[in-house]
Structures are given as C-alpha cells and as structure tokens.
Structure 1
Amino acid sequence: MRITHYRTLTTVHDWGRPVGDANGVYADGRVRVPIVVVETDEGITGVGLGPHADIENVFAAIEGEDPRSVTTLYDRMLRQVFKAGHAGAVFGTIGALDTALWDIKAQAAGEPLWRLFGGRDRRVPAYASALDIALDDDEFVATYQEYADLGLRAAKVKGGLDIEQDRYRLTTVRDVLAKANRGARPSVMLDVNETWTRKQAVRHVNEIERTLDLTWIEEPVRRWDAEGHAAVGRGIRASVATGENLTGLEQHRALISAGAVDIVQTAAVWGITHFLRVATLAHAHDLPVSPIGTTPVGLLHAATSVPNHLVSELQDLRPPCGVSVDLHVEDGAYVLGDTPGLGLRVDEEAIAAASHLIPDPLAGGSHIRPERAGRRLHPDETLNA
C-alpha cells in the first residue's frame, strides 16, 4: 500500500450559540474546521482534522510511502520542516496527516483504532466543556444541564476576567451536576486561556478557593512559562493543567522537568503520535494526561491504551457540518464504536453546501490575543454586553 494524494477541505462547526473564552468570542457560534484527506493506491482513505499550512512541503515527506509506517513517517514530517521549524499551524498539519495515517492503518487491519492500539475498554471518561464565557446565566444552566443529563460529573468553565463571576459560575455548574447525579460530588475546573500574570493567577485562585474546591486551573499563565506555572502551583491548592498549545515534545519536557504541571494536556489537532509520546513522558513522571479538543476522536482511541489517561474534554455534542463519528456519550463517558479506523467520515456534498457559513479567519474570536491580556485591573464586561 502506498500514499498517493491528499485533499484539503474546510467545514464549519456551528454551535448555535456564542462560544469563546477570555481572549474573545465567536458571536455567531461558527468556527472554521480544516480537514485533510489522505488517499492510497488501494482505495483506503484516512481523515484528519487539522490545518493545511505548508501541506505541500510536509506531504512530500510521506508521498509514495506505506501509510502503515505511521510513527516513522511522523518523524519524516518533522525532519521535512527542520530548518523553518514545526511549531504552530505547521505542527497542526503534521498532526492532521498523522491522524489520517493512523485511520488508514486501522482500516487496513479491519479494526477500530482503539482495538489496534490494544485498548480493552471502549469507554473514555469525559468532562463537560461548553466554551461558555459569553452565555447569560439561564443559557449557562441549560447548557450544563444537557451535559448533566448524560451523566457527566465534571465540568470546565471558561473565565479569568471576573472573580465573582467565576465563583458564581463554578458554584452553579457544581450544583447542576450534583443534582443530576443524586448529590455525588462533582469536579469543577477553571480555564483562563493564558490571560493572567503569575500574581494575578495566585490571587484569583486563592479567592475562589476560599469557598470552592477547584480541581484544576488551566493555562493560568503563558503556555511556555515553566517557572510561572510552577510558582502558581506552589501558591494554590488546585492542580495546574496545561499543554494543549505546546507544539512538540520538547516544549512539554521543560514544564514537566520544572515540576510546573500536574495535569498534562495535549490538543487533538496536534495528532495521535504526539499524544502518545507526551503521554509516555508524563507517565515516566507519574503525571496524568488529559486530551483537549472539539472533536478529539483520534486521541480518544489512543487514550484507551494509555495507562495515565485521566479524563477527556467533551465540548459540543454535535460534530462539525458534514462530519460523522462512530461514538456516543452515556454515563459520563465517550463510547467508541466498532467501525474500522477512526470511525470518522466526511460528506463532501454537505460540506460544500455549508461553505457560505464558514467564517473569515481574520474575523474576531478566541484565537486572537487581546491587546491588554494580563493587564486588567477591573472585570471586563464587554463579553456579555
């Protein structure tokens, strides 16, 4: 079997409500979703969700190769962009191609990827994550009630701009989940998406912890700040979670070596091989891993075989337009299906029909860092204006 071609698509994830975080909001709830499709000479195609940046150059490293040699091809792609570097969107392109190759490998074996990885249990524990910072109070409760009805007992709230608002939201989601689970104690987490300085982080979390048991604080300071994460960890009771925006094993190594992270995260967009390597590094330091992503199907399959997997993020309950996934959610967990490969399929006609909904990448959203991030003295009321 040989890799012959690739195709790129872009679809839209339409949440039907505003979504975002401390950095910004997609007011109409529509977010771009790039897709890479890899073709082979035996008719098997693989799908990866991720960027297309510099894909012609990256694909040259794997064209004509046997797609089943996935981890070796992953390293070939890294070497292909050695001089310019593999960080940022290019790392996402490598991740999308890597995910598509794992999809092909499992399809060729006639097995779902979780089985190929040696997973025993197709259930992957999940926590609710609604990208909820722009919701009003009624919308917030209704959204998390939907997650609670699926048996979820943990939730991550977006915040970081207003201590009192964060305290209220965290307490509210705790009560919603506890009521749905007959009083069982839920876990609540706060994600501030790199919006604080070190001192702001310690002060903000200490204030919340006066009245609430916070399971973890996520990305309290800039992603690369190992010393800062360590300082925050020493100053609070909650665990520190970070890593979703780190593009390479070497970036994780610095934080883990500094004792700066308690929950090691990787994003689905960076690919399966990256996740497996980060999970092994974390396991060597007795640290748990937790995948991040809107549609993290590749990492869910991999998580079934990782001994230190803790819990995976569950964002929207619907996949992007034109994308279907063989999994469902029940009793607080993803349940993976038996379709060979990832169980991920794309309907290109549906994607083409929805093309008018795809937002301009230069439009506002949480991917653009605010000018005064980390330099606010007072709550920011603009997100709910």
Structure 2
Amino acid sequence: MSKASIIKSVDAFQVAWNPGDPPGRRSAIVRVTTEEGLVGYGEASPMHGGEHSLWVLRDAAATLVGADILDHAVIYDRLLHRYVKLGPEGTVTGALAALDIALWDIKGKLFDLPIYKLLGGAWRTEVPFYASIGGNANRSVDETVRVVEQRWQKEKPAAIKIRWDGDRTRQDYDIPGDIAKAKAVRKLVGDDFPLAFDANNQYSVGGAIRVGRALEELGYVWFEEPVQHYDVRAMGEVAQRLDITVSAAEQTYTTQALVDIINAGVRMVQPDIVKMGGITGLMQCAAIAYAHGVELVPHQTQPTIGHMANLHVLATIMHLTKPAEFADPDTRMHPAFRNPPKPVDGKFQIPSGPGLGLELIDAELEQRRVR
C-alpha cells in the first residue's frame, strides 16, 4: 500500500467564523491526512453546529488510522453500521458526509484529477444557480419584494426561490398573506421568469393544496416541502393532487427513505450532500432518481466545502433539469479559502484542480477553531 493513501489522522472540529458565533452559525469540518501528507477536507451538516456528527467522527478516528482511502466503500459501510443504532438519520449520515467528502478530496489529489473525473466525467463544468431567498415568513409583502429585487438584480440568477423559514409548530398561519407575497414576487419578475416557493413544512394537507393551486395559477415551477417532512404519506398526497411539481427530501437521510418518498408520489427530490452521506450518498440518490424517473435537485446551503462537493456531483448528472441552489450568500467563511466559490454571470465554475479544487488555509481554520 502506498503511504499516500493510508490515513494518518482524522481531525473533526467546529469552526466559529466570527467571534462569539452561536452553534447555529458554526461549521462542522473534518480534516483527513495521509501518511504522505495529502490532506482532504469535508463538511457535516451544520445544524446546531454539527457537534453530534463531529462526536461520531472523533469516536471513530482511532479506528480509521491505518485504513486505505481506496477502501472507501468498505470504510463507509463499516462506519454506517457501527453507529447505525444512533439513528442513523442525521447524526450518522452527517458524519459520513464529512468523511466521505474528505476521502474523495484526497483521492482526487492522489490521482491529480478533479472529483467529477473520478465520478465518470462532466456533462458541464459550469452550473447556473437559483437564488434561494429565506426569511420571508416574518416580512411584509413590500419587504419580501424589496429583498427579492435586490438579489435578482445583483446576482442575475437563472431562477428564484422564496423561502418562508417560519415556525414549524404553526400550520396554515397566514395563507392569504403567503399567497399575496407569491403574487407580488411574480408581478416583480414578470410572467416568464422561473419561480419556486419553499413552504418549509408549514401547511396542513388542505392548506398546502390551497396554496399550491394559487402557485399553479401564478406559474410557479415547484412547491417545496409544503407539509411536515416526516409525514411521507401527506407529502405524497399533496404531490399527487397538485399539478405543480412538489419537491421534498432535503430532510431525508438514507437511500431507503428516499425511495419511500418517491413511492409516495413525490417527483422532485432534494437530498443534501452534507446530510445524505456526502458524494457517495448523493451519487446513490442520483441513480435512484434516474431509475424512478424523478428529478434530482439537491438542497444546498453551505457556501464552501459542501457547495463545491455538490457542484462536482451536479457536473456528472446527464439530465440536470434545475439550477443549483445558492442560499442567502455569506462571505464570512471566505478568509479560510484562497479560492472560495463565487458566482460569475449567474453561474458557478467547477474547478479543474485536483480533488474538490478548493484551496484551504489551515492557519485561518485553526484561528477560528472552537476549542
């Protein structure tokens, strides 16, 4: 075995990008180093700082030392089943995501190839994005229009999604107000510009159908997570009763659960690479979506490592029917990257450098590391 592919250390840690960042604003990072000094970086879901997934990685670190990264699939499945009684949804799949992305990053550096080449090649090396604009539950109609207009004019996205980010414990709270915001945004951008509506799980089945009918009249392209994500039967019922495409699965964590939501009737699925087992997990989702004839439009809100890993997967998908998500841009992570991903003319370029193609600055990460 070559020392270049043998794991020497696995370091899992939180990064607070600004002093005093609460856990919800931190990132969950893993750094894997080989005996020859190759370094790969991965990212877990940052929900509540990702500490739950980081614990799994720290617990597993000693058992990973000495493993060959080219035994990637064995490492992946062994770790999943070692910790399977923790869920495995969320905690374990987030840990797997971080480790998996780091291993792919190292493999790319080992073979001096971008990850998309190792996945079978790219159908495209630039990907258009949609502006994912959150926080609209607490805005007035005029405020929603103002925020959307700012992003639309500044970023020149291929599409826009308005997100609610409301209180999930309240259902059908202000359906007339929600529809009024949807109408106002449509009026702003014109009849032909692609729009999507992310309810963030805030409706009952009846409420979702009422809103969905209005979105159909307004020409919205998709209606995201209209009901609670864990009520698979209800999500499927809404999807089957509406003509607008209903999307879900950003909070789906296993391939088996993805099949369940497809079988319920959802025809556009949105798993997240930092929740769904990383690049390996998302490629499995791509195969499932292709086999079932549904659209794969991954959810993605992490602007650096997770975002770039997602773009490598999107490059390989033959039928990429929708743009990539670009959610609420934030540059606070940029100091730790020599080449942070930034859109140009409404598109992201996928770097041709080895691995992820990201150049991290360890000194900046260490400075921001939560001890």
- The reply to whether TM is greater than 0.5 is yes
- With the shorter chain as reference, the TM-score category is 0.7 to 0.9
Tell me how far apart the structure 1 counterparts of residues 326 and 224 of structure 2 sit (CA, whole Å).
Answer: 15
SS in 2 for 1:267: coil
Tell me how far apart the structure 2 counterparts of residues 355 and 100 of structure 1 sit (CA, whole Å).
Answer: 18
The structure richer in helix per residue is: 2
Aligned residue-pair number:
338
Tell me how far apart the structure 1 counterparts of residues 70 and 342 of structure 2 sit (CA, whole Å).
Answer: 27
User: Normalization by structure 1: what TM-score?
Assistant: 0.78
Q: Is the 8 A contact 1:191 1:218 kept in 2?
A: yes
Q: Which residue of 2 aligns with 1:299?
A: 310
Q: Is the 8 A contact 2:123 2:317 kept in 1?
A: no
CA RMSD of aligned residues (A): 2.8
Query: Among 121, 124, 127, which residue is 2:127 paired with?
Result: 124
Q: Which amino acid aligns with 2:354?
A: P
Q: Is the 8 A contact 2:342 2:348 kept in 1?
A: yes
1:228 and 2:231 aligned:
no
Deviation at 1:262, TM superposition (A): 1.4
1:340 and 2:347 aligned:
no
After superposition, the Cα gap between the structure-2 partners of 1:63 and 1:345, relative to the gap in structure 1 and judged at 3 Å, is same
Q: Which residue of 2 aligns with 1:115?
A: 117
Q: Is the 8 A contact 1:38 1:47 kept in 2?
A: yes
Tell me how far apart the structure 2 counterparts of residues 61 and 147 of structure 1 sit (CA, whole Å).
Answer: 48
- Bigger mean CA offset, 297-306 vs 217-226: 217-226
Where does the alignment leave 5 or more consecutive residues of structure 2 unmatched? 45-49, 167-172
1:263 and 2:268 aligned:
yes
SS in 2 for 1:39: strand
SS in 2 for 1:108: helix
Tell me how far apart the structure 1 counterparts of residues 64 and 152 of structure 2 sit (CA, whole Å).
Answer: 40
Q: Which amino acid aligns with 2:43?
A: L
Q: Which residue of 1 aligns with 2:280?
A: 273
Q: Which amino acid aligns with 1:206?
A: R
Tell me how far apart the structure 1 counterparts of residues 131 and 71 of structure 2 sit (CA, whole Å).
Answer: 35
Higher RCO (CA-CA < 8 Å; seq separation 6+) = 1
1:203 and 2:210 aligned:
yes
- Bigger mean CA offset, 146-155 vs 98-107: 146-155
Tell me how far apart the structure 2 counterparts of residues 155 and 29 of structure 1 sit (CA, whole Å).
Answer: 28
The structure richer in strand per residue is: 1
Deviation at 1:340, TM superposition (A): 1.5
Where does the alignment leave 5 or more consecutive residues of structure 1 unmatched? 15-25, 359-385
Q: Is the 8 A contact 1:124 1:304 kept in 2?
A: yes
Tell me how far apart the structure 1 counterparts of residues 284 and 181 of structure 2 sit (CA, whole Å).
Answer: 35
Tell me how far apart the structure 2 counterparts of residues 223 and 276 of structure 1 sit (CA, whole Å).
Answer: 22
User: Normalization by structure 2: what TM-score?
Assistant: 0.81
Q: Is the 8 A contact 1:217 1:241 kept in 2?
A: yes
Counterparts of 1:88-237 in structure 2 under 5 Å? 88-117=90-119, 118-133=121-136, 134=138, 137-138=142-143, 141-142=146-147, 144-159=149-164, 161-178=173-190, 185-210=192-217, 212-237=218-243
Q: Which amino acid aligns with 1:43?
A: G
Q: Is the 8 A contact 1:141 1:176 kept in 2?
A: no
Q: Deviations over 1:52-90 (max 9, x none)?
A: 132233445533222133333222221221344321222
Q: Deviations over 1:129-153 (max 9, x none)?
A: 0223245645753454334443313
Identity between Structure 1 and Structure 2 (%) = 27
Q: Which amino acid aligns with 1:197?
A: S
Deviation at 1:111, TM superposition (A): 1.9
Tell me how far apart the structure 1 counterparts of residues 83 and 23 of structure 2 sit (CA, whole Å).
Answer: 34
Q: Is the 8 A contact 1:11 1:320 kept in 2?
A: no
